[in-house]
Amino acid sequence: MGGGSQPMGLGYWKDAMKNTPKEVLNYNLAYAVLCFGLMGTARGLDEGLVSGTISQKSFISEYGLTVLEDKSNAAAVAQKTGNIAAMVQIGSVAGALLAFIVSDRIGRIWATRQLTLVWIIGTVVYVTAKGNYGQILAGRFVMGLGIGQTTVVAPTSVVCTLPRILKTDLPTAIWLRLLLARFVDFASVFSRVLCTWALCLATSPIEGLLCILPVPARQWFIPNMMHIIFAGVIFIASFFALESPRYLCRKGDFEGAALVMTKLRNLPSDHVYVQAELIDIKDQLEREREATLGSAWFGPLKELVLIKSNLYRFMLGFAAQVLGQWSGGGFITIYAPQFFTILGTTGQSEKLFATAVFGVVKFASALICAFFLVDFLGRKRALGAGITLQLVSVLYAAIFLTAVPQITKVDTKTGATVPLTGAAHHAATGAIVFIYFSGVAWALGWNSIQDLIGAEIFPLRVRSLANSLIMCIHFVNQYGSSKAVPLMLLPGSLAPSGTFWFFSAVTWLGLVWVWFFLPETAGKSLESMDEKFSLPWYLIGRKGAEMSRGRGAVAEATENGGDLDKISAVQAEHAGAL
């Protein structure tokens, strides 16, 4: 089994697939990836729409979010704005926990159908609130119950349909599977871009674009209908999708699992490839049952908490979510129009256009990083490079806002508010450019690693539970940040400059964490991964890659006559720590 990353062109793809039946890449597989992968749009739609919605004049007027001239109500308005933006995240916490139970009880297909119905019901309650603040919070909470489930159901459903790649070069097989599995992330980023442009066009003065209804209050209503459209498409598509063979085997329906597998792989049921996959699924389920000792979810939870190597893995997932969420990358996406206002962009259409361009930058960066840079550089170096660029970006904005706290000034003759000119104006333009750079940095860094960590480091027995808990941590932090940022930006609080200094501090802390704690996981076999996390905790991040290369340092040392005494000493030290 191989070690590091390699160039992955068309020839490399053909080489990876040469021992795999060509029939496995077929319409049924593509349809399954598309159907379940589209659930990734749920998060993207909400994050893309809420930022523009809460900044639209019609929405501000309808829900009383106007700040008075003396700013006496600024804190109350910030609190209400944060509640509206964050309520989906608090619902998503419950949704992520619910999905862990529901998907194993009723299957991926019915889990998909019920979550899309919950998503639609919440959206209807939300868009029909008509100024009722309590109803809009209730609607967005119910939306969160559906959206939170997609973060668990979508990736597990896609992964369950992916074929095995019969090739001894394991990194290539993993890369090909991850490419398909990350369709969920592509859908999320693409839908976020679609939303920002829809909001931009909805407020455009040009007739005949999205201004179908001339009533100003409908400007935010029309783009938000995309929630219902996408949820409806996924709901209808689920009736033509195939159930997970793994779920059917778990329920004891081996004949049904075999039938589904023949359709997914486009091969006869007695084909050795199909039989091998079914045997592998049964073996995995049997090992899971033995590991949990019939204790359902309690067994994996006990194993996750009490085994030190698993606890270290969970620490990595936990820290990646906390440091990633509070580094500023996600906040800038959700509150992009407000940040562009702070940096001198005036006019509602101009702010939404800048936000839309920001979305395109993040989408293009996400594609480039996912296809090329993350695997080429490796997980640790890619994250380190992304965080470094993000640190430079937010640090520039912090310094600029400290030096120029007021981006606009009042014209003494007309009384109108006008932007600053000269050097201050050019510096403000530079700050906006660095905000775009932070989008590139986010795609290369935290955005990629948050998903890949859960997919690569956890053993199969605890992977599902660990990922559900990590997604709960993700949404809890996103909820807290969404509520906190509007209050942090107030003059009596951290103010814009202090907020960006806070982002800078967290980003720097994340860089230190990456250097000391995070090991390289790209192109590592399961054997070397287990050996890596069996090292003492203070060696995993800094020396783990060196001491667990290829199939594992012990195996390689045995074959190559390496320094077994040194390796044995490390293992003995770790055994003593346990």
Q: What is the pLDDT of residue 201?
A: 66
Answer yes or no: is pLDDT of 118 > 80: yes
Q: What is the pLDDT of residue 18?
A: 52
Answer yes or no: is pLDDT of 67 > 60: yes
Place of tokens 């990590």: 470
Place of tokens 């905000």: 435
Cβ(91)–Cβ(141) below 8 Å: yes
Q: What is the pLDDT of residue 15?
A: 46
Helix ranges (H only) for 518-563 are: 526-532, 537-547, 553-560
Q: What is the pLDDT of residue 138?
A: 96
**Rounded mean pLDDT, 184-195:** 78
Q: What is the pLDDT of residue 568?
A: 47
Secondary structure (DSSP) of 485-520:
HHHHTSTTTTHHHHHHHHHHHHHHHHHHHHHHHPPP
Q: Which residue has the higher pLDDT, 402 or 173?
A: 402
- What is the amino acid identity at position 408? T
Q: Which residue has the higher pLDDT, 513 or 189?
A: 513
Here the tokens at position 248 are 């059917």
Measured distance CA(468)–CA(149) in Å, rounded: 10
Highest mean pLDDT: which of 101-115, 173-187, 449-463?
101-115
Buried b (16+ CB within 10 A) or exposed e, 269-293: eebebbeebbeebeeeeeebeeebe
Level-2 CATH architecture, domain 27-243: Up-down Bundle (1.20)
Of 552, 554, 549, the closest CA to residue 566 belongs to: 554
Average pLDDT, the chain: 77
**Rounded mean pLDDT, 419-441:** 80
Confidence of residue 452 (pLDDT cuts 50, 70, 90): low
The string of pLDDT tens digits covering residues 285-294 is 777 666 555 5
Q: What is the pLDDT of residue 8?
A: 42
Confidence of residue 523 (pLDDT cuts 50, 70, 90): low
Helix ranges (H only) for 369-459 are: 374-377, 379-403, 423-444, 446-457
Domain ranges across the chain: 27-243, 244-293, 298-527, 531-570
Q: What is the pLDDT of residue 374?
A: 64
Answer yes or no: is pLDDT of 214 > 50: no
Measured distance CA(258)–CA(247) in Å, rounded: 12
10 Å Cβ neighbour count for 508?
16
Which CATH entry fits the domain spanning 298-527: 1.20.1250.20, 1.10.10.10, 3.40.50.1970, 3.30.465.10?
Answer: 1.20.1250.20
Answer yes or no: is pLDDT of 103 > 70: yes
Q: What is the pLDDT of residue 58?
A: 81
Confidence of residue 567 (pLDDT cuts 50, 70, 90): very low
10 Å Cβ neighbour count for 256?
15
Of 475, 480, 468, the closest CA to residue 93 belongs to: 475
Secondary structure (DSSP) of 288-354:
HHHHHTT-TTHHHHHHHHHSHHHHHHHHHHHHHHHHHHTTSHHHHHHTHHHHHHHTT--SHHHHHHH
Q: Which residue has the higher pLDDT, 9 or 314?
A: 314
Burial of 91 (0-12, 13-18, 19+ CB in 10 A): buried
Answer yes or no: is pLDDT of 240 > 50: yes
Answer yes or no: is pLDDT of 117 > 90: yes
Q: What is the pLDDT of residue 508?
A: 96
Q: What is the pTM for the complete model shown?
A: 0.75
Measured distance CA(331)–CA(272) in Å, rounded: 50
User: Fold match between 27-243 and 298-527?
Assistant: yes
The string of pLDDT tens digits covering residues 16-26 is 445 567 788 78
Answer yes or no: is pLDDT of 250 > 80: yes
Answer yes or no: is pLDDT of 6 > 60: no
User: What 8-state DSSP symbol labels residue 243?
Assistant: P
Here the tokens at position 537 are 């905790």
Q: What is the pLDDT of residue 202?
A: 60
**Range of weakest confidence among 73-82, 181-190, 340-349:** 340-349
Q: What is the pLDDT of residue 98?
A: 87
**Range of weakest confidence among 30-44, 62-76, 96-110, 354-368:** 354-368
Identify the bridge partners of residue 418 per DSSP, sorted by sequence position.
409
Would you call 85 helix, strand, or coil by DSSP? helix
pLDDT > 90 in the chain, percent: 20
Would you call 156 helix, strand, or coil by DSSP? helix
Cβ(459)–Cβ(523) below 8 Å: no
Answer yes or no: is pLDDT of 176 > 60: no
Q: What is the pLDDT of residue 394?
A: 92
Measured distance CA(40)–CA(217) in Å, rounded: 29
**Rounded mean pLDDT, 316-334:** 85
Measured distance CA(436)–CA(524) in Å, rounded: 33
- What is the amino acid identity at position 100? F
Answer yes or no: is pLDDT of 134 > 50: yes
Q: What is the pLDDT of residue 204?
A: 53
Cβ(29)–Cβ(177) below 8 Å: no
